[in-house]
Structure 1
Amino acid sequence: MLVLQCNQDVTKDFMDTQPAQIAKYLHQTLGIDVAVRVWKERARLPVFLRQGYEFYELEILGRPCLAMVDRADEEISPTTVRKHAEYLLAKFPGDVIYVRQQLAAYQRKRLIEQRVPFLVPGNQLYLPSFGIDLREFYRTRRGAPESLSPGSQLVLLHLLLHPCRGDQTPKELADRLGYSKMTMTRVFNEFESHSIGEIKTVGRHRCLTMPDDRRRTWNDTLPLLRSPVTKVYRVRCANGPVQGVSAGLAALSYYSMLSAGPQRTVAVTGSQWKSLRGQVDLQPMAAGDPDATNVEIWSYDPAILAENGFVDRLSLYLALRETRDERIEAALAEMMEGVAWSRA
């Protein structure tokens, strides 16, 4: 197989210059001149394909090819791309090439694994039937991390605790949880890179469908989940109780038969803690002081998943699962038995 390398940057607006960028990249990489023309049979395709792609026909080294140019802002799953390409292969007498301005490294890897031809102008050209794998020196883009980001973890826990029937779009989840569309796009990318649920494209939007077996999803994703607690401060507030979502052993006693003890524990975000310190008089306290309040700083907002003023069961489990205390371990097991995994 021919392997070439290049490092070029595509800076023009992609959707306005598709044919020119495709032709230019093929000339720069393969040294060939191609005519890129609108495919006249496009009008005969199903609506979802016409809405999702632009189509151009061209010849590469004497072989007819059809470029299916992704119009969506969000990346489509490689499995969906393969299914769309297979449909087009039955309609077009040649190779079908998936084209997109940018592709994450893990997306390219999965397309190659499924032998789906693709072209990223200025970055990569993969044409297995031609024996061509042209790879760039990748622009810095991370692959799948070892654990989920705090935002992705919160979304996963929300879907496990509050299952929704049918597909979920990034906008629907963003509106429900108070996240931005950009953040939710990153969440969907992480879910796809870790094979959490099924992500497919409907029209121009990605949709997420979670498995019905939520207990299995929880167990399968546990290695990706981290304690939401990043720091703990022990303080006393001269103006009254420290405000926050009840957490720690106090929350565990709410979900189990454990006796919590006199100390309060509350969970807040970093920004909430900063605001709290500027508004009230907080005095540092020693560990074990019964008058102290443990203030946990969380990597995501505990109030979003809270139940009756207490942090949710799954986040609490993640926060306490490393504790080596038989009473706490037994209480955690009791709490998890109370999770309504089968609730619709």
Structure 2
Amino acid sequence: MTPADLSRTVLRAVRRAVDEDALRAPVPARVRVERTRPGGSGDYACAVALQLARPAALPALEVARILRERVASEPGVGRVEITGPGFLSFTLDAPAESDRAVLDAVREQGLDYGHGDALRDETLRFHHAREVRAAVTADVVRRLVIAQGARARVSCEEASDPDWARLGVTVDAHGTPPAPLTGIRPVPAGATAGELLERLGPDAARWGLLRPAGHDRAVLGPELLVQGEANPLFRVRYAHARARALTRGAALLGFTAEPAAYGDPTPYGEGPAPYGDPTPYGAGPVPRDGAARPLLDLIADHPGALLSAARHRAPDRVARQLEAVAHAFFGFHDSCPPLPAGDEKPSAAHRARLALAEAAGTVLAGGLSLLGIRAPEHL
């Protein structure tokens, strides 16, 4: 079960409670679940009971009890606890199955993994000044909200700079259209599109304009072209290229990725079980960690990161998410190589590791595409 699946499961529980007249409150448009903070209980937590307590005219603890009864029996949910004033804490059942579900979703949806319909009822209009950073930001904000089901148009105060097209920017209208409008006003870049294209090229220019938050100054120096770990753009694109290279290398060795291999007793690490723990997926005090865990969690959380970026009109959140995925990918790759070494034969462990590496590559490529940046197969 992915975080998006869990969110829908809780929302269904709310609807059931209302339909059964156990709860008299408006059904929210969505339910937000968040990964439990350090020291908390369970895998995910949700504050929907506190949200519904006042309209339902019930204590939050009572609302939480009503919802717990209806969520606890759902497939994929192992345990539901009530903590604090009425938070619901969820421990997911069969983590290995949950991990496979995430990888299957990435494989099935491809570059569209993380897209959804949360904004399907919204028609949005964005307006920006005749300035390159505002134009690129508005272009990506439009991509983000459309990826979440919204309809969107972008207008500019004046006629577009012809060089914007070389940056992949399109504008639907010029002048000041009638309200309502959402203004896109980041800190100006201090350079024109033509200057940036000449110095940096389209990909590095877009990353430099989008990576900082809109209220921060864009960093547009030669460091964006450095092919090294200190350059986040290079690191993200290199992680993608490396993931694709692993697939090619596996083909030469005669094997392919297999998400189902996550049920194998040794899918990641060396020794009798993944991470060296004899019961890494079972209940009990042993934490589910290791080099694969951060990467799996980031991939599972990717749809939520994209939706958050769309809702907050914040392309920089996508860039930071991609940097985190790339960092976790290299940690996993170095600790648990997906390709066998020397005379070693490919095993279920290698097929499982390759499935995770390929999923990371797909997430990176899809995120870069939303930012309007190419994801080369080779670097």
TM-score, reference length from structure 2: 0.21
Which structure features the higher share of helix residues?
2
